[in-house]
């Protein structure tokens, strides 16, 4: 038995096998082979498996993101059957007597280049797809699976994980996350908590762990490889205790989130998409306080259309059945990158071209999203909030686009609600400092403590090296929160907190003392926070 210690960023205990997630960035080697026939057979078998995976992805996407977005996996299956593509692979194997991995990778590169040089926009766009299918077949050939191929749930161990990778994982196949890099407020950590999974960062991971039995202790931040019987018994007990505690918390379902002195706090859920509404409702969320709409973009291969977005927002709003749903407009950039946006490299992306800055710079994208949200507002209680605000001018610009969109919908006779509350995220010190003026322009504030901590302490939330001083409890952060709540109220806005700090039960009483109106947390934290609220004076 071997134990390694890092930092726990998602609580709980997980017991299972390790799946070492390799991004597949290793170069494909050109190895010579003895039997051409056997190699072609290997390729055919890998192609069949890749087709099977694509079919499964299609079925899953159809349910989760609709037919339009799922169609890409059908296109990929067709491309795998293309005669020229297959001829090229078998020719390379036959003439050069090389392994299938090399033949597929070379064909993929050649075809991608050919497509990229075409004038027709449709074929140009297929360049990335042909690379994608080739990488999939190479992964199958070299045994580097992805989680969707796994039979049983696993402990996922990786060097680092980007949000765009994390959202691809099949959640039903995951028990825990363990990485070397990452930080407590990174979006990957947030996703782990959204999935209620134990997670640890800062572990000196080792590829040889792949397939081994292990225990992740998210409380102590340890991973234990090949645990002995005594340790296993001890951890099974803790897991059992957690289950009992969860059952106890169930008694708070249906109870109001009211303090002993009678103050009602709105206890909302943070979600990343339609699929999280089940967990939000199961955990008795009183609304959605933060719908991170950018996950819709991260999960797409191309810009999601107005209709695709409308369907997603409408489903969330309908699932929440009259409870308020606060949709945050697109917050891409920094660690949340999508290829088709082509945001470009930046020296300092955390302080760069992101969130509302992109939206105000590219109004066609912004207005498409606003139209989709307003259309969904006809089906329930919708609110909109804008991320990364630093100035009054930005708020006024956002409101101008909102007005334009409403006028357009009216002219087109498309129904929408006039009761959509407009709010902003307070996640920059600039916004907190001028919050008294901002409050007069909006219905509500939602304090994003993850970014507020990052910008107040000048610590990149992605930087694992600074994790020990990345302290959201820093007095400067707490003072900005207190001040924002006070100023929000002065200007007539209600004030919530939707960053990770909202789920920190050691601060619940303090936030209530500051006068917070709403707390929005990952679904798994709703009942623990309610337990704290009902015990507060």
Q: Which residue's CB is nearer to ligand PEP, number 50 or number 191?
A: 191
Cβ(285)–Cβ(323) below 8 Å:
yes
Stretch that binds Mg ion, among 178-186, 424-432, 467-475, 525-533 (CB under 5 A): 424-432
Cβ(259)–Cβ(534) below 8 Å:
yes
292 binds, among ligand PEP, Mg ion, none (CB under 5 to 8 A by kind): ligand PEP
The site string for Mg ion over 441-470 (x = CB under 5 A, - otherwise) reads: -------x--x-------------------
- Contacting ligand PEP (CB under 6 A), which of 451, 467, 504, 532? 451
**Which DSSP string do the residues of 223-292 spell out, in sequence order?**
EEES--HHHHHHHHHHHHHHHHHHHHHHTTTT---B-TT--B-EEEEEESSGGGHHHHHHTT-SEEEEEE
> Pairing relation of β-strands 222-225 and 2-5?
antiparallel
Instruction: Compute CA 112 distance to the chain's CA centroid, rounded to the nearest angstrom.
Output: 29
Task: Kindly list the catalytic residues.
Answer: 187, 498
Q: Does 522 bind ligand PEP (CB under 6 A)?
A: no
Q: Does 518 bind ligand PEP (CB under 6 A)?
A: no
Q: Does 134 bind ligand PEP (CB under 6 A)?
A: no
- Cα separation, 488 vs 495, whole angstroms: 6
Q: Does 101 bind ligand PEP (CB under 6 A)?
A: no
What is the Cβ-side half-sphere exposure of residue 494, based on CA atoms within 13 angstroms?
12
Query: Min. distance of Cβ 105 from ligand PEP in angstroms?
Result: 36
The dihedral sign for the CA sequence 240, 242, 247, 248:
positive
Query: Min. distance of Cβ 441 from ligand PEP in angstroms?
Result: 20
499 binds, among Mg ion, ligand PEP, none (CB under 5 to 8 A by kind): ligand PEP
| Residue among 50, 292, 17, 301 nearest 155 (CA) | 17
Cβ(313)–Cβ(380) below 8 Å:
no
Q: Does 496 bind Mg ion (CB under 5 A)?
A: no
- Contacting ligand PEP (CB under 6 A), which of 449, 462, 508, 522? 449
Query: Min. distance of Cβ 292 from ligand PEP in angstroms?
Result: 5
Q: Which residue's CB is nearer to Mg ion, number 101 or number 451?
A: 451
- Contacting ligand PEP (CB under 6 A), which of 8, 227, 499, 528? 499
93 binds, among ligand PEP, Mg ion, none (CB under 5 to 8 A by kind): none
Query: Min. distance of Cβ 478 from Mg ion in angstroms?
Result: 18
- Contacting ligand PEP (CB under 6 A), which of 138, 385, 398, 498? 498
| Closest residue to Mg ion: CB criterion | 451
- Contacting ligand PEP (CB under 6 A), which of 450, 456, 487, 508? 450
Neighbours of 355 (CB within 10 A): 23
Token pair in block for residue 344 = 């470009």
Distances (CA, A) of 141 to 49, 54, 106, 318, 524: 10, 15, 14, 44, 39
Of 174-193, which residues contact ligand PEP (CB under 6 A)?
Answer: 190
Q: Give CA angle at 266 (241, 525), nearest 5°.
A: 20
239 exposure class (CB count in 10 Å sphere: 0-12, 13-18, 19+): middle
- Cα separation, 165 vs 368, whole angstroms: 26
Query: Min. distance of Cβ 447 from ligand PEP in angstroms?
Result: 7
Q: Give the H/E segment covering residue 494.
A: strand 494-497
The site string for ligand PEP over 419-438 (x = CB under 6 A, - otherwise) reads: --------x-----------
Q: Which residue's CB is nearer to ligand PEP, number 70 or number 351?
A: 351
Stretch that binds ligand PEP, among 40-48, 258-266, 416-424, 444-452 (CB under 6 A): 444-452
Of 303-342, which residues contact ligand PEP (CB under 6 A)?
Answer: 331
- Cα separation, 245 vs 116, whole angstroms: 56
Stretch that binds ligand PEP, among 4-12, 32-40, 319-327, 446-454 (CB under 6 A): 446-454
- Contacting ligand PEP (CB under 6 A), which of 163, 304, 333, 448? 448
- Cα separation, 223 vs 453, whole angstroms: 28
Rg (CA), the chain: 25
Cβ(130)–Cβ(112) below 8 Å:
yes
Q: Does 276 bind ligand PEP (CB under 6 A)?
A: no
Number of amino acids touching ligand PEP (CB under 6 A): 11
Query: Which stretches of the chain bind ligand PEP, using CB under 6 A?
Result: 190, 290, 292, 331, 427, 448-451, 498-499
């Amino acid at each position: 038995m071997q134990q390694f210690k890092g930092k726990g960023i998602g609580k709980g205990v997980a017991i299972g096998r390790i799946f070492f997630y390799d991004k597949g960035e290793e170069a494909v080697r050109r190895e010579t082979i003895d039997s051409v026939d056997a190699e072609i057979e290997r390729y055919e078998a890998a192609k069949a498996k890749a087709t099977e995976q694509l079919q499964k992805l299609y079925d899953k996407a159809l349910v989760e993101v609709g037919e339009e977005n799922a169609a890409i996996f059908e296109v990929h299956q067709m491309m795998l059957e293309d005669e020229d593509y297959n001829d090229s692979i078998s020719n390379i194997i036959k003439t050069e007597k090389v392994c299938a991995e090399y033949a597929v990778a070379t064909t993929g590169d050649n075809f991608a280049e050919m497509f990229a040089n075409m004038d027709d926009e449709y074929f140009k766009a297929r360049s990335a797809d042909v690379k994608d299918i080739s990488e999939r077949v190479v992964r199958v050939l070299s045994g580097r699976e992805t989680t969707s191929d796994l039979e049983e749930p696993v402990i996922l161990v990786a060097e680092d994980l980007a949000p765009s990778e994390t959202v691809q994982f099949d959640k039903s196949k995951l028990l825990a996350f363990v990485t070397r890099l990452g930080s407590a407020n990174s979006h990957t950590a947030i996703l782990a908590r959204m999935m209620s999974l134990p997670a640890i960062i800062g572990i000196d991971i080792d590829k040889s762990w792949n397939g081994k039995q292990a225990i992740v202790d998210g409380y102590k931040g340890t991973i234990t490889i090949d645990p002995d019987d005594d340790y296993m018994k001890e951890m099974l007990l803790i897991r059992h205790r957690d289950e009992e505690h969860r059952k106890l918390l169930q008694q708070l379902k249906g109870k109001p989130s009211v303090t002993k002195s009678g103050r009602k706090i709105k206890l909302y859920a943070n979600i990343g998409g339609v699929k999280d509404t089940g967990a939000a409702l199961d955990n008795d969320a009183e609304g959605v306080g933060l719908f991170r709409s950018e996950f819709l973009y991260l999960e797409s291969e191309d810009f999601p259309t107005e209709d695709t977005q409308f369907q997603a927002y409408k489903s969330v709003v309908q699932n929440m059945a009259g409870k308020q749903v606060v949709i945050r407009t697109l917050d891409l950039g920094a660690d949340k990158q999508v290829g088709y946006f082509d945001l470009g490299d930046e020296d300092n992306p955390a302080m760069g071209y992101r969130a509302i800055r992109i939206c105000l710079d590219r109004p066609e994208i912004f207005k498409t999203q606003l139209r989709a949200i307003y259309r969904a507002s006809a089906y329930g209680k919708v609110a909109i909030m804008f991320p990364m605000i630093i100035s009054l001018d930005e708020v006024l610009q956002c409101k101008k686009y909102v007005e334009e969109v409403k006028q357009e919908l009216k002219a087109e006779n498309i129904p929408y609600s006039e009761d959509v509350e407009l709010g902003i995220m307070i996640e920059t010190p600039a916004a907190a400092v001028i919050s008294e003026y901002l409050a007069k322009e909006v219905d509500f504030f939602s304090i994003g403590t993850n970014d507020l901590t990052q910008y107040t302490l000048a610590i990149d939330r992605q930087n694992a090296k600074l994790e020990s001083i990345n302290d959201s409890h820093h007095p400067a952060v707490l003072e900005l929160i207190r001040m924002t709540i006070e100023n929000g109220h002065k200007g007539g806005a209600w004030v919530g907190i939707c960053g990770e700090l909202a789920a920190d039960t050691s601060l619940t009483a303090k936030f209530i003392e500051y006068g917070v109106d709403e707390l929005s947390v990952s679904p798994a934290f709703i009942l623990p926070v309610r337990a704290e609220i009902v015990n507060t004076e």
